[in-house]
Each structure stands twice: as C-alpha cells, then as structure tokens.
C-alpha cells in the first residue's frame, strides 16, 4: 500500500509541476506576443514564430542535457521545464 501511495503522490507532484510550468510559460508567451506585435507590427504572427523557435531550442537542449545525466537534480525538473514551461510557452500544446 505504501508503494502505491508513494507513486500516486509522485504522479500528483508531476501533474502540479506541469500545471505550474504551463502557466508561467503561457504568461511569458503572451508577453512575447505583445512585445513583438508592438515592435514589429501586426501583419505577421512574429510572436508565435519567436516562441516556437526559442521553445524548440530549449526543448532540444533540455532533452540532450537530461539524457546525458538522467539522475541529476535537473532531471527531476523535467515535467516542470519540458512538458510544463516549454509546452505552455510554445504552441505545441495545441497538438496534444
């Protein structure tokens, strides 16, 4: 019973981390969109392009870094950073 409870608590922590990261990423995406529209004009969705390129680079860097050190303290932040923050920051969350 203790193992099941521990696994359940671990899953809920991951869900919470994804939710928090997604919220932060979404707010930052909105800010980038507003700034890019003010700076570059509104004819082309520059904000979407910027966040998707930056988010893709960040996801790639995190995936490479975490695969080399799967037991590092940074690896525990994978749900928060990759699925949460990067998912909320980019428009890739719409594909899920």
Give the up-direction half-sphere exposure of residue 16: CA atoms within 13 A in the CB hemisphere: 6
Which residues span the domain enclosing 63?
Answer: 2-95
- State how far the Cα of 70 lies from the Cα of 36, in Å rounded to an integer: 36
pTM of the model: 0.82
Which pair of tokens denotes residue 66? Answer: 């975490």
Q: What is the pLDDT of residues 30-61, one digit of tens each?
A: 999 999 999 998 789 999 999 999 999 999 99
Number of domains in the chain: 1
Q: Please check the confidence at residue 92 and state whether its pLDDT lies above 80.
A: no
Give the up-direction half-sphere exposure of residue 11: CA atoms within 13 A in the CB hemisphere: 6
Query: pLDDT class for 95, splitting at 50, 70, 90?
Result: low
The mean pLDDT of 18-40, rounded to a whole number, is 94
Query: pLDDT class for 87, splitting at 50, 70, 90?
Result: very high
Q: Is the dihedral of CA 27, 29, 32, 34 positive or negative?
A: negative
């Amino acid at each position: 019973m203790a193992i099941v409870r521990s696994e359940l608590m671990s899953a809920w922590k991951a869900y919470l981390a994804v939710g928090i990261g997604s919220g932060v990423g979404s707010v930052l995406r909105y800010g980038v969109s507003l700034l890019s529209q003010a700076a570059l004009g509104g004819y082309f969705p520059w904000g979407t392009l910027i966040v998707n390129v930056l988010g893709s680079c960040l996801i790639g860097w995190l995936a490479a870094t975490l695969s080399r050190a799967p037991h590092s303290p940074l690896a525990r932040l994978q749900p928060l950073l990759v699925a949460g923050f990067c998912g909320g920051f980019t428009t890739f969350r719409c594909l899920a």
